[in-house]
Amino acid sequence: MVVGYNHNIMYKGVVFHVQTEDSGLSNPHITTLLYREGTIIASKKTSYADIIKIESLESVVEELMKEQHKDMLRRLKNGELDSRISGFAQPSPTETNVACPPPESQGKPLDDVLLDYLADSREK
């Protein structure tokens, strides 16, 4: 079972962290958090208690996690969370030297970049 996904994303010159975790069968929910320097800026929690008995639960939960993780990244990139991040959108001194994404990801749709990232992280 996939424990979770973590992704740092640059938005408006600032690095944000998105984390998605599955709490497991004893507490069946998926939680996605958007952080800026350790402060939670946005969150989403989804229960999957209603489907816990299905045969392919592991793959369904993994897909739900991917979609919820991508949704939080999309919401950030689309500006939907700008009102929440306005006080946090100042680059820290360590972020002034943050590397740009590799050239192969530039110009790709966000979904493709995220899917490539998730695939790479599963292989490690």
Q: What is the mean pLDDT of each run of 10 residues along the chain (124 residues)?
A: 87 95 95 95 97 94 97 96 80 54 56 68 58
**Res 123: pLDDT:** 57
Select from 120, 117, 88, 82 the least CA-distant residue to 15: 88
**Res 3: pLDDT:** 77
State which H helix or E strand residue 61 sits in: helix 57-77
The alpha carbon torsion through 96, 104, 60, 30 (nearest 10 deg) reads 0
**Res 22: pLDDT:** 96
Integer Cα distance of 30 and 68 in angstroms: 8
